[in-house]
Amino acid sequence: MARAAGAPAAPVAIVEPERAHAPSSDRPSDELAASPAWVDSRTSIDLFCDAMWLEHGLSRNTLDAYRRDLQLFAQWLAAQHEANVDQASEAMLTGYIAARSDGKATSSNRRLSVFRRYYGWAVREHRAAADPTLRIASAKQAPRFPSTLSEAQVEALLAAPDVDTPLGLRDRAMLELMYASGLRVSELVTLKSVEVGLNEGVVRVTGKGSKERLVPFGEVAHGWIERYLRDGRPALLGARAADPLFVTARGDGMTRQQFWNIIKRHAQQADVRAHLSPHTLRHAFATHLLNHGADLRVVQLLLGHSDISTTQIYTHVARERLKTLHAAHHPRG
């Protein structure tokens, strides 16, 4: 049956293609790297990433993820259709998404989000004639809520490092600061000494989109940072100089992976048996603030969320925690 004039087009279903699987590496073969389609795609992708950095201040990690997703798509297009990213049709894009499917709606939706952003830019810049993402619907996915630790579990985790050693002092100061401020891991490991105001009790953070915010961190974290700066950091650096606040035994800045390993190691030492992530203490920071009556808008500002709907996921976690406590302790629970 024909669609009535002016009626919106139905979302396109993603079906399994008959073509080869999508590439698993973002490094093309020598033959593919020399193809005009790949060369043209790479130029467009580089221009897009430059524009996202200049116009929106996206972080290096975000831009690297965008570049990888787009380059994998460009490889597939060049190999299967001898087309570049600006020549992609709706059918090509749905075929690629299906070829890359791992059964997880979150993965498909993440890629689709990148493609929507790319083609919105490409059409505005007259690099692409049309946006092939317009009729492609996102995959349905259940709402995801961050797992968090109880206050007792957080206390056990914070107390795990051996503070009689320079590395233990560093770890304690990092964990205390993250729980006290709710910083993202990338913000924590890139924090510079000059961005910590001990007298004011705040850190100056440059977050997503190059947005700067001031975040308080409280007396307990203040004490551990001060002790780390006095006894731990000088022992780790020796005669070397370094901008980052938190440094390794070699005097280098920390990486996100190194901090993740720190959390896992100390959680194991503290026998904290819970689902962990690099942002475990950030999630605990937000949830515990809400549990103790903090205003949602205040938590939004502290976390650096541009959209309050992102912060609202923590209200669900807080409600679930209250329901669990009620059921456990109320005489008629």
228 belongs to the catalytic site: no
- Considering the candidates 111, 222, 279, 283, report the single residue annotated as catalytic: 279
Handedness of CA 276, 278, 280, 286 (dihedral sign): negative
Both tokens of 301, joined, read 């500002």
81 belongs to the catalytic site: no
- Considering the candidates 127, 282, 283, 288, report the single residue annotated as catalytic: 282
140 belongs to the catalytic site: no
- Considering the candidates 208, 227, 256, 321, report the single residue annotated as catalytic: 208
DSSP per residue over 10-69, as a string?
A: PPBPP---SSPPPPS-SS--HHHHTSHHHHHHHHHHHHHHHHHHHHH---HHHHHHHHHH
- Position 20 scores a pLDDT of 41
179 within 8 A of 285, measured Cβ to Cβ = yes
205 within 8 A of 258, measured Cβ to Cβ = no
- Considering the candidates 111, 127, 170, 184, report the single residue annotated as catalytic: 184
CATH (residue range 151-329) = 1.10.443.10
- All residues at 6 or more sequence positions from 316 whose CB lies less than 8 Å from its CB, including other chains: 143, 145
222 belongs to the catalytic site: no
279 belongs to the catalytic site: yes
- Position 28 scores a pLDDT of 64
- Position 12 scores a pLDDT of 42
Quote the CA–CA distance of 200 and 196 in Å, as a whole number: 9
What does the pLDDT profile of the chain (333 residues) look like in tens digits? 333 444 444 444 333 333 344 454 556 666 666 688 889 999 999 999 999 988 877 778 889 999 999 999 999 999 999 999 999 999 999 999 888 877 677 788 889 999 999 999 999 999 999 999 999 888 775 555 556 788 899 899 999 999 999 999 999 999 999 888 888 888 899 999 999 999 988 889 887 667 788 888 889 999 999 999 999 999 999 989 999 999 999 999 999 899 999 999 999 999 988 778 778 888 888 888 877 777 777 777 677 655 566 555 555 555 555 555 556 655 655
184 belongs to the catalytic site: yes
